[in-house]
Amino acid sequence: MTSSEGALASLSMNERGKLEEILGGKFNVIERQRGEVKLNDKVLDELVTNEVYVGAEKRLNTSRYIIDYRGKREEHRSSGAVISTGTGSTGWFNAIGGDEFGANEKKLRFVITETYLGKRIYVPTVLRGEILSDENISFESTRDYGGIIGIGFKTYDFNRGDVVEVKLSDKPLQSIEGI
């Protein structure tokens, strides 16, 4: 049993003709944009093909962090943040209210999930947005323990003082499709 549908590497029985086209050299190359993640100024090995999650390891706990986006810096309490590529925008990102976008579009999008909206102290305004090729978004953890960064099946600790930065990678994934 597999844990993923593997949409980028699957072929249904009614698509066998496309395989023959591809093997015969009839295909288009699609550049799927990916994200790059830095944790405490160190670039992580994994490039983001679908999405990266920044938040509490257990979603029943509250994520606490300071977000920095387009010069706006504010403290958040939420279930976490999901930053998506166009390829990933049809999955989890879409299920939490994000809009789908093209895999080849040179941008990332993010949604802050289940935000705590206070009356005086926690009144966040950065709840969703786009990260273009010359931009990034960063999160500084204010949680003592239990925070994570999730990229695919890999997780990293994200606790008090840790800073994660996400931006568009300059290394897109090249995939092919039959003509």
Q: What is the pLDDT of residues 142-161, one digit of tens each?
A: 999 989 999 989 999 999 99
Say if CB 49 and CB 83 are below 8 A apart.
no
pTM of the model: 0.89
User: Domains in the chain and their CATH numbers?
Assistant: 17-178 (2.60.200.30)
Please report, for residues 79, 115, 122, 143, 178, the alpha-carbon distance to residue 119 in angstroms, rounded to integers and kept in the order given.
18, 13, 7, 21, 54
Residue 117: predicted pLDDT: 85
Scanning the chain, the segments in alpha helix (DSSP H) are 16-23, 92-95
The residue to which tokens 């005086």 are assigned: 120
Which residue do the tokens 């786009």 mark? 130
Q: Is there a contact between 157 and 148 (Cβ–Cβ < 8 Å)?
A: yes
Q: How far is Cα 103 from Cα 87, in angstroms, rounded to an integer?
A: 5
Express each pLDDT in 22-56 by its tens digit. Answer: 888 888 899 999 999 999 999 999 999 999 999 99
